[in-house]
Amino acid sequence: MEKIKILVVDDESRMRKLVRDFLMKSGYQVVEAADGEEALDLFFEEKDFSLVILDVMMPKIDGWQVCREIREYSKIPIIMLTAKGEESDELQGFKLGVDEYISKPFSPKILVARVDALLRRANILNKEEILSVGGIEINVSARQVTVDGRIIELSFKEFELLEYFISNQGIALSREKILNNVWNFDYFGDARTIDTHVKKLRSKLGEKGSYIRTIWGMGYKFEVDEK
């Protein structure tokens, strides 16, 4: 099966390398462009990209114009990257047909997760990942959680928090690390929001909630009791 090809457009070579390395580790093929002009040339020459990751501020042609021109011919998923965190920029991006909007700096793992989600939504990627431990089962693609075979309803962030805990079971996770990986770097709230979500998650998991252990003065660790 051919690898899914992604166009990464950013004038910062270090940023392109960071994004490229994480995408390639996840099995994607990556083509890079250093400015908007090169991006449009590559997009219309190669014609087989499945997704575009696009920076806003670039020389020659900026990301907004690149997005406009791509949208005249294609509904390909587009993720916009920007150093700005302004709501007006985000609204402009969505008006132009941007599918996701991520502010720099960001967690590369979160970016890859959003790429996966967009490609699944576009029926390009059909991964069915199941995480199962201690009677808890997560169907990542269906975003469904069961405890001892019973479906439980979780909010979006509760689901992402549980997925992160299970993917890192046995590892002590600081609140800062949880914020960076679940809420992303562009979250401006208080770390106490983690404690609130953990409390709700424990309650919904019932007796399995004890798997989420508090590490005083640091954060949490997901650990299943071996009996």
CB contact at 8 A, 37 and 63 = no
H or E element, residue 221: strand 219-222
- pLDDT tier for residue 1 given thresholds of 50, 70 and 90: very low
Mean pLDDT, residues 168-193 = 75
Across the range 57-75, mean pLDDT stands at 90
| Section 178-201 average pLDDT | 76
Tell me where in the chain the CATH 1.10.10.10 domain(s) lie. Answer: 130-222
Per-residue model confidence (pLDDT) at position 190: 65
Smallest CA-to-CA distance from 54 within 113, 4, 109, 104 is with 104
> Does residue 42 have a pLDDT over 70?
yes
Q: Residue 123 — pLDDT band, cuts 50, 70, 90?
A: low
What are the residue ranges of CATH 3.40.50.2300 in the chain?
5-121
- The predicted model gives 39-65 an average pLDDT of 91
Q: Which residues pair with 54 in a beta bridge?
A: 9, 80
pLDDT class for 11, splitting at 50, 70, 90? very high
CA angle, residues 120, 89, 61, in degrees to nearest 5: 85
Q: What is the rounded average pLDDT of the residues 124-152? A: 82
At a CB cut-off of 8 Å and minimum separation 6, what does 222 contact? 165, 166, 168, 169, 170, 211, 212, 213
The CATH number of domain 5-121 is 3.90.1200.10: no
What pTM was computed for the model?
0.56
**126 pLDDT more than 70:** no
Q: How do residues 27-36 score in pLDDT, each as one tens digit?
A: 899 999 999 9
Q: What is 130-222's CATH topology?
A: Arc Repressor Mutant, subunit A (1.10.10)
Mean pLDDT confidence for 44-69: 90
Render pLDDT for 82-94 as a digit per residue (tens, 0 to 9).
776 555 666 666 6
Q: How confident is the model at residue 129 (pLDDT cuts 50, 70, 90)?
A: low
